[in-house]
Amino acid sequence: MEPKPTTLKAITAEEFYTAHGRQLGLKLEAGQAGLNRKIHEATINRPGLALAGFFRYFAWARVQVLGNAEKTYLKSLSSPERRGRIRDFFQRRVPCVVFSRNIQPTREFLEEADAYRVPVFRSPLVTGRLINSATLMLDLDFAPKMTEHGTMVDILGIGVLIKGESGVGKSECALALLERGYSLVSDDVTRMYVLDGRELMASSPEETRYLMEVRGLGLIDVGRVFGVGAIRTEKRVDLVVTLRDAGKMEDVERVGMEQEFQEILGIAVPHVQIPVSPGRDLARLVEVAALDQKLKTMGHNTAKEFNDRLIARMRNEARG
Amino acid sequence: MKSSPIGGDEHPRPLIREVVVINKQGIHARPAALFVKTATKFRADIGIEKEGEVVNGKSIIGLLMLAAGEGTKLTLTAQGQDAEKALAELSKLFEDKFSED
């Protein structure tokens, strides 16, 4: 079965609180009844203009972050005007509110939050830091995700996803790479997600983290057998290597001039296919493929550079 | 007299055909890969000669080393049961300019 990508459409304020409350130091101050409200966008909003009465372009579906500026502005309003604005604000179905710098919301604000059932939190982080952290976390929550059948390794900083049919030797290949001192991200089942809309990241499911299944040996705890240096939690995918039975491969790349890509979650990742046959040292081949990929990202394409030189030389000889 | 260890008894002598490189860029990586891919389909031993230098027709590096530009005359040799078919297909690659230009 082909793996399917999933993308969240929304998360509830409660999910946000549960998942990130500790890291953001969130404390729930009011509006508990509204924890099922939905956050629809993976970013935050500072509602300064809204609190000033301008609601025409109000990004209501986001987490609303209030800092010193908003606090000071609200304080400057007359009491009835302030209550009116706060009500206008809560009426817009905002999912939740976070005060930065441990600002204590006024009683009036908390009363309205309870009345409109909008959760209000407090965070000790300064506004800028809170916004950055919360945006990153939300971006991850909303990132497209999928599970790939493949083994992920880190070879000298190059993240390589090794794919191929069951039994083709993915795990054995990874094992040999571990013996060479490289590290494992995940074996067989790899979780993928897109970071920041442009980087494909891979990690392992928590349940099977750092475990490897090797035919004939069973489960191996990589962290214990090879040491903590041999494991890492996540890694950007720089290269996809597909191991294929040599007998089933019709077109084997011989020069490597054309870069093949494989699209995962909308990101095009360089792809090479390696024919598997007895006696081929797969780990070494994958290692060299990773190093060659590193050269390419540094701007050196061996095959292309050689070919350009060759064509120039043949042209000169034809003239001379 | 012993027969040659390669090619078997049926075609003890290699078949020979002259070709000319007519595609503009010469035998660079892509044509070389196409040639080798075609040559490896056959069991016959394939050789290419340029000005006295002979390389294995199933070796990309060998072909590239020849640096055979436009207008170069090459001699193809094939030895083995399917030598004739191999030469026909391989020389057609040259005639078709390796699907270039």
CATH classification of the domain holding A37: 3.40.1390.20
Show which residues on chain B lie within 8 Å of chain A, measured between beta carbons. 25-30, 32-33, 36-37, 60, 64, 67-71
Q: Determine whether A188 is an active site residue.
A: yes
Last residue in a domain, options A88, A107, A142:
A142
Q: What is the pLDDT of residues A273-296, one digit of tens each?
A: 999 988 889 999 999 999 999 988
pLDDT score of A250 more than 80: no
Residues B23, B70: contact at Cβ < 8 Å? yes
- Could you tell me the pLDDT band of residue A163, with boundaries at 50, 70 and 90? very high
Instruction: Give mean pLDDT, residues B52-58.
Output: 93
Same domain for A157 and A300?
yes
Closest Cα in chain B to A303: B29
**Of B28, B51, B70, B98, which to mutate for an interface test with A (greatest number of A Cβ within 10 Å)?**
B28
Interchain proximity A307–B28, CB inside 8 Å: yes
Q: Which of A121, A142, A163 is the last residue of a domain?
A: A142
Question: pLDDT class for B18, splitting at 50, 70, 90?
Answer: very high
Quick one: pLDDT at residue A233?
Answer: 93
Average pLDDT, chain B: 88
pLDDT of residue A320: 64
In a shared domain, residues A115 and A32: yes
Residue B68 with chain A: CB contacts under 8 Å: 314
CA distance, residue B51 to nearest chain A CA (Å): 14
| Within-domain flag for A194 | yes
Same domain for A283 and A182?
yes
What pLDDT was estimated at residue A44?
Answer: 95
A121 with A171, same domain: the answer is no
SS (H, E, C) A103-160: CCCCHHHHHHHHHHCCCEEECCCCHHHHHHHHHHHHHHHHCCEEEEECEEEEECCEEE
In a domain, A318, yes or no: no
Whether residues A175 and A89 fall in one domain: no
Does some domain include residue A5? no
Could you count the other beta carbons within 10 Å of the beta carbon of residue A121?
Answer: 24
Q: A90 and A174 share a domain?
A: no
- From B37, B67, B71, residue closest to A310, measured CB to CB: B67
- Does residue A1 sit within a domain? no
Contact B45, B7 (CB under 8 A): yes
Task: Assign residue A182 the CATH number of its domain.
Answer: 3.40.50.300
- B17-37 average pLDDT score: 93
Give long-range contacts, CB 8 A cutoff, 24+ apart: A220-224.
A220/A175, A222/A178, A222/A184, A222/A187
Cα distance between residue B83 and residue B15, in whole Å:
7
Closest by CA position to A120, among listed A37, A55, A52: A37
pLDDT of residue B7 exceeding 50 = no
Domains and CATH numbers, chain B: 15-99 (3.30.1340.10)
Residues of A in contact with B39 (CB under 8 A): none
pLDDT at position B101, please? 80
Contacts of B71 in chain A (CB under 8 A): 318
CB contact under 8 A, B64 and A318: no
pLDDT band at B11 (very low <50, low <70, confident <90, very high): low
Question: Residue A62: inside a domain, yes or no?
Answer: yes
Tokens in use for B81?
């049961």
Tokens of A304: 């292309």
A169 and A270, same domain (yes or no):
yes
- Inspect the interface and report whether the beta carbons of B28 and A311 lie closer than 8 Å: yes
Residues A289, A151 within the same domain? yes
Is residue A218 pLDDT above 90, yes or no? no
Tell the burial category of A260 from Cβ atoms under 10 Å away from its Cβ (0-12, 13-18, 19+). Answer: middle
Does some domain include residue A315?
Answer: no
**Neighbouring-strand partners of residue A63:** A44
Residues above pLDDT 70, as percent of chain A = 99
Name the helix (H) or strand (E) containing A231: none
Tokens representing A162 are: 């090794």
Tokens of A287: 């290692």
- Please identify, among A86, A112, A142, the residue that sits at the C-terminal boundary of a domain: A142
Contacts of B59 in chain A (CB under 8 A): none
Spot the catalytic one: A154, A188, A238, A292: A188
Token pair, residue A19, equals 């998942």
Judge whether A17 lies within some domain.
yes
Residues of A in contact with B25 (CB under 8 A): 311, 314
Q: Which tokens hold the place of A86?
A: 């706060």
Q: Residue A312: closest CA among chain B residues belongs to which residue?
A: B25
Q: What pLDDT shows up at residue B12?
A: 66
Q: Which residue has the higher pLDDT, A19 or A252?
A: A19
Average pLDDT over residues A285-313: 90
pLDDT one-digit tens code per residue, A105-128: 999 999 999 999 999 999 999 999
Q: Which domain holds residue A248?
A: 145-306
Per-residue model confidence (pLDDT) at position A224: 92
The pLDDT, as a whole number, for residue B4 is 47
Q: What is the pLDDT of residue A300?
A: 85
Rounded to whole angstroms, the Cα distance separating B49 from B61 reads: 14
Percent of chain B with pLDDT over 70: 88
Question: Does the annotation count A254 as an active-site position?
Answer: yes
Do the domain assignments include residue A4?
no
CA distance A176 to chain B (A): 29
A·B CB contacts under 8 A:
44
Q: Where are the alpha helices (DSSP H) in B1-101?
A: 29-39, 60-66, 83-95
Q: Give the per-residue pLDDT at B43.
A: 94
- Rounded to a whole number of angstroms, the distance from the CA of B3 to the nearest CA of chain A is 32
> Is the predicted pLDDT of residue A16 greater than 50, yes or no?
yes
| Candidate list B11, B17, B28, B97, residue with the active-site label | B28
pLDDT at residue number B2:
42
Average pLDDT over residues A29-51: 95
Note the pLDDT of residue A262. Answer: 94
Does A157 lie in the same domain as A39? no
pLDDT tens per residue, range B65-81: 999 999 999 999 999 99
Residues A152 and A294 grouped into a single domain: yes
Q: Are residues A131 and A154 in the same domain?
A: no
Q: Are A306 and B70 a contacting pair at CB < 8 A?
A: no
How far is it, in rounded angstroms, from Cα A78 to Cα A182? 65
Q: Count structural domains, chain A.
A: 2
Q: Are residues A206 and A130 in the same domain?
A: no
For residue A248, what pLDDT is reported? 79
Report chain A residues whose CB lies below 8 A from the CB of B60.
Answer: 254-255
Asked if A310 and B60 come within 8 Å (Cβ–Cβ), the reply is: no
Gap from B4 CA to chain A (nearest CA, Å) = 29
pLDDT reading at B6 higher than 60: no
